[in-house]
Structure 1
């Protein structure tokens, strides 16, 4: 490997000098001639003139083989097939001599042609122009080939720019490809504009604004064509061992020197017309030779020492080596042809040479595209192709429909005297309205036509996301999720880690085709700190510009074979990560579309996990209350209330998970209170009111806005000890037997006041009331009424036992006003007197 690198370094040091050989030969010949003649101006020339006619020798006659349609000769009346007779009243008998005579006149001057056409003499005055640099208007076939070839190349460059710009924003590696395509586009698009200008407007006359703009486009294009071979070599070298060698500091300025020299000569020559013997036309051979040398150098670098350590997918393979070999051979042959070592250009006609130069210009974009594909495949190529073809198709249809429509309307417009510009505007508006629908349908068609594995992957992921609500536990959801991701994205391996609960919870994991070295829970713990702090995707491919992890962890993951990591973000925090290995197909990579789909998939997965986690928490709580607290539930909880609470939870899970979670928390608080007071017959009023609030919150979840609560207490009484569950039992009876039977709900009021006798607790409801108490003469003391259930009987018995009185609870009720229950907790009774735990346990708080 070291010997190959040394050879590559030697070539990189040598070829910049070789690339300037043709330019050096011109300079040497000019210097020698200047010394001999002692005249520094010897050899200077002006830019050659062109009459836009291709003359050919046929049967000892000089015939116009091709007259450019929009050229000055065609405008003057000359046609293809005319037989030359005289130029400025002088006869010529050779096309080469005639061509030399025309070139020596000077751009902007006029000449007079005398020709024969169908045995008739024709005289035409033609104003000469400068020859269009690097363009060849010498045959209809070559001109059309140039026009459509450069237009196609321009489209490819624009498409490449659209694809690579989003990547360049993220990644500095993609910026080199962006610069490479942009510089190449200067030449390709500049030539395309010049070709269309000549086709539509004709050649520019010297001294006009059109000529100035045309010359500026020529210079901009030349700078692009000169710049792209250097950028190509630099881009290829950045992926080789040379990039990390000490020689790179000396190589870079040497590689840049020929490009700078040729670009400076092109600019100065374009501005002054010539530099010594050099004109823009005579720079063709030096520029072409330089480009061929650098193309060959790029191919050599790729063949000799391209390394894949800095890439996760090797950019070279048998097909790449063959391609680079072909490019090397073609570039070498072209360079030797320009130099004259292989006499190709010397042995062919001007037309053949034109085909060669135009083909070389167009083919020079091929290595740009090949090198850029390494970056472009990370972009949204399919989407851009479909959108671009849609726009081109619709714009083409609009163009032809406009031209055809105006052609049909022209007779009517002329006959009726309508303003042509208004009619044209109306036609454009109508077509835009019609073709808007055509554009949508066309884009849909192209999207389906260009449907690739990535589109099919998107459909597979979308279908799975729609079915996540059917899973009943997190483990099965994760197992199916990782299988779908692996299959959809054609990954060799993939693994998912989820921590749905607290930070210290164990990992839930699932894998797809795991390969050693394995990504374990221990490794997930190592990465979790960074991922939790910066929950953004990470990609090993530098072109994607997603290096959210530290360099140490990035290198560690690369060694493990991980290519993409996407965090799974819950509502408030990250809850896991999705890691993918390389794709199963050797050259396939993950691009921006894949990352976007994975992020969207991770978001849907997080929602599904949160939903299942909530369900599992509720189920766990239900299991705990059913098992561990079975005895307490049987003794202290009304099954009717518990059933209603669970129904409320189940009904809220899908539509209002926050309400379901809050209900579960309130229910858990009630159970906790039950456990804490299991052996305590007395509790502070503060704790009893807290229990009541939790209970009423559960009932509010069931009743909604129909239940209103009002709790009022005197200051300084919250620490007074009262019998446990007394207030809660009264409130539960008020809700169940008072408000639950009304259609519009109502209000429960709780008032706790002190008086000389003790603490007075009053619970009022606005429910249906108790009919047996509607009689005003009925005794409402705390004797056991027939309508008492277990709860009220329990309170009556406990109050009598604790305070040795039977008048501590009273009940009043009236139709339309509801029921009021009042309990008096006497002063001077210490709860320490009653420590029998059995007195603190009772069967129910509710009237049955």
Structure 2
């Protein structure tokens, strides 16, 4: 029974262990307070909106946006000085008469200026695009000469959710938006494969990351647009930006609340969705219907940020209540500090009195930095289970390639500018040259990839390459035992885990009480999954008692290894020395197990084939013996019958020798190997019986080198050769016959030479002879070597050479 219950589409799994405290009145009371805060936020927004409309009811609306002259003015003893000048107008066509930092404003629209506040009121009230006639005084820093300049200055509009008077923060916000979008993209690329393991759990997390990605990318896109846009009084894009910014920030906060608080049902976020929709609709009315943004600018900004901060505070408070039984001081201090800072932000935007204490744009920058916290806090624990190394490496590679492409294009552009600035179709030629240069660089890199990569390979990468090389070498193994030993060693070296075990189990009877391995293995095979203590990479869960048993073991990861129904294995991995197992690790382990299973199956088939071949050899040998024995018995009994009349003593000795041969045959018939000395005794007795038959026509010569009689050789292998000499050699000649057997050591082999002076063997008959062909195949199967048995027709008889490897174990099952 799986630990994952079917809760329906709108239910989510909590991202952490659920404690009984969460079901107590504390958790629900906190949730209720959060809902009341949302209601208060909506009420306060409406109340302040009504107050703004009452104050502005008699004023004529001059523009849809608040004006902005892009200058921060400061009162000094010398007059009104330009303290900071926004960089945006500097990106436009150069106008030497544009106001610069340090200029003293004398007149604006022919009105003398004495206070900075007056300038701000005039420019803010004027519509975007209004042309001011300005007179200002500029002091040359080198000559100290004073110049009075008159210029026509076009008014711009106040940027929403941005920095209108702090150039440094405006520059920094562009980098924050770009790097933040890149970070969110990397996080999303890492989380997407993880989401396949448990889609319901990852819905709010993915929603949060996607919202954050688009929210940050929207800021970057707007930042670039403002730089490249030629006129700074066009407000159409800014309207859409405001509404998109609100929608994405609202969804970002709501999804974070769902994930972090442990809320299991989407309906718990319904009040948040209603308030977010209400605020967004009010902003839409202000921007597109009543055209009153210049009066509601601060109100919309403040309550948008309050909405997000409320969800941040509520999510962390509910999370801390949920984790209260753990009493982790570090968590409470870290998250508690974020709660305090976010609460201070809510107070700042909710209380107009507080806004006079801190600069508005500094507070906005603090919020922009704090907005990264939910993204990092919610995903940091999850990222370690994804393919972090792979995604980051590929991202860096693409960034480097992108930067190289930009530098290359700029270089090509400058070359054309210097060589042929007025050439026809210059842009097309530049582009074609750029593509060819990229292609050449790509080919050069591919040709020298191995040479260049060694300068960028880390220790982790080296270990990964070594591990992948081992996986690729698995099919070349010929020994299952060696493969299993090397597999454990490679896993231990790569993951630096302890313990690492590949344990094999035999299928047991149903009556026996099943061990935990027997309960785990069928489920893993049926689910085609692995078991891990970490739910992020494997959500599979067993019954409660079995989970408790597994948690008591030192193993962190279990994976099945299947060969056949009678034998199965479990790969057991302990905790990694550094980090945790992630999806990249699981892919490596899966590839390793697939190759191992395939190779073990092949080796098992080879082993079974050897067993069948051996069984066939043994059956053939037994049949051969049953054929040899009656024939030999018939000839011997005839000889003994003749001896009874001639010499009773010789007849009795012959009977004893015959009895010895049959006792030996019965005793050794089940053995594959016998000492050479015993085989020599057998053929000596056999030849002595044959001498009774042939009399003085048979001469026998047997010689064995000292120390060779204890060498093990296949049973009856020499007896077959000697019997072949008698049957097809000596029995077919009329003159005296000779059978010679010599055994000696030659290098790393025992060599046995069997010679007779018969008519000579017909070499084409060897493979037709059951006994001889069986002996050749038997030797090849046992020693895995060819040409151990050699036959030659010398013209004066038959020469046979048998070679037995010394010190080599037989390759028998």
TM-score under structure 2 normalisation?
0.65
Structure 2 counterpart of 1:603: 594
SS across alignment from 1:166: helix
Mapped to 1, the partners of 2:588 and 2:306 lie a distance apart of 47
When residues 373 and 437 of structure 1 are mapped into structure 2, their CA distance, relative to the original with a 3 A threshold, is farther
When residues 107 and 526 of structure 1 are mapped into structure 2, their CA distance, relative to the original with a 3 A threshold, is same
Q: Which residue among 407, 417, 436 is the counterpart of 1:430?
A: 436
Any conservation in 2 of the 1:88–1:111 contact (CA below 8 Å)? yes
Q: Which residue among 14, 28, 31 is the counterpart of 1:12?
A: 31
Give runs of aligned pairs for residues 419-818 of structure 1, distance below 5 A.
Answer: 419-437=425-443, 451=458, 455=461, 458-465=464-471, 468=474, 473-498=479-504, 522-537=515-530, 541-544=534-537, 547=540, 564-568=557-561, 576-580=568-572, 583-584=575-576, 588-621=579-612, 631-635=622-626
Structure 1 counterpart of 2:275: 258
Structure 2 counterpart of 1:101: 122
Structure 1 counterpart of 2:800: none
The Cα of 1:593 is off from its aligned counterpart by 0.8
| 1:91 lines up with 2:119 in the alignment | no
| 1:150 lines up with 2:177 in the alignment | yes
| 1:215 lines up with 2:232 in the alignment | no
When residues 431 and 218 of structure 1 are mapped into structure 2, their CA distance, relative to the original with a 3 A threshold, is farther
Mapped to 1, the partners of 2:567 and 2:83 lie a distance apart of 77
| 1:346 lines up with 2:367 in the alignment | no
Q: Which residue among 197, 200, 208 is the counterpart of 2:225?
A: 197
Structure 2 counterpart of 1:372: 379
Any conservation in 2 of the 1:270–1:280 contact (CA below 8 Å)? no
| 1:117 lines up with 2:148 in the alignment | no
Mapped to 2, the partners of 1:307 and 1:493 lie a distance apart of 34
When residues 401 and 475 of structure 1 are mapped into structure 2, their CA distance, relative to the original with a 3 A threshold, is closer
Mapped to 1, the partners of 2:770 and 2:127 lie a distance apart of 123
Q: Which residue among 188, 191, 197 is the counterpart of 1:164?
A: 191
When residues 78 and 532 of structure 1 are mapped into structure 2, their CA distance, relative to the original with a 3 A threshold, is closer
Any conservation in 2 of the 1:461–1:601 contact (CA below 8 Å)? no
Range with bigger deviation, 556-565 or 323-332: 556-565
Which of structures 1 and 2 has the larger relative contact order (alpha carbons within 8 angstroms, sep 6+)? 2
Structure 2 counterpart of 1:292: 309
Any conservation in 2 of the 1:16–1:257 contact (CA below 8 Å)? no
When residues 785 and 194 of structure 1 are mapped into structure 2, their CA distance, relative to the original with a 3 A threshold, is closer
SS across alignment from 2:159: coil
When residues 162 and 3 of structure 1 are mapped into structure 2, their CA distance, relative to the original with a 3 A threshold, is closer
SS across alignment from 2:287: helix
Mapped to 1, the partners of 2:65 and 2:600 lie a distance apart of 75
Mapped to 2, the partners of 1:9 and 1:341 lie a distance apart of 31
Mapped to 1, the partners of 2:770 and 2:173 lie a distance apart of 103
Mapped to 2, the partners of 1:154 and 1:482 lie a distance apart of 42
The Cα of 1:443 is off from its aligned counterpart by 11
Any conservation in 2 of the 1:491–1:580 contact (CA below 8 Å)? no
The Cα of 1:6 is off from its aligned counterpart by 3.3
Any conservation in 2 of the 1:112–1:126 contact (CA below 8 Å)? yes
The Cα of 1:229 is off from its aligned counterpart by 1.7
Structure 1 counterpart of 2:285: 268
The Cα of 1:283 is off from its aligned counterpart by 1.6
Number of residue pairs aligned between Structure 1 and Structure 2? 611
Unaligned 5+ residue runs, structure 2? 1-18, 140-145, 629-668, 670-727, 729-758, 772-813
Mapped to 1, the partners of 2:61 and 2:46 lie a distance apart of 11
Any conservation in 2 of the 1:16–1:258 contact (CA below 8 Å)? no
TM-score under structure 1 normalisation?
0.62
Q: Which residue among 205, 209, 223 is the counterpart of 1:181?
A: 209
SS across alignment from 1:583: strand
Instruction: Supply the RMSD in Å over aligned alpha carbons.
Output: 4.6
Mapped to 1, the partners of 2:452 and 2:319 lie a distance apart of 39
Unaligned 5+ residue runs, structure 1? 309-313, 508-519, 638-677, 679-736, 738-783, 796-848
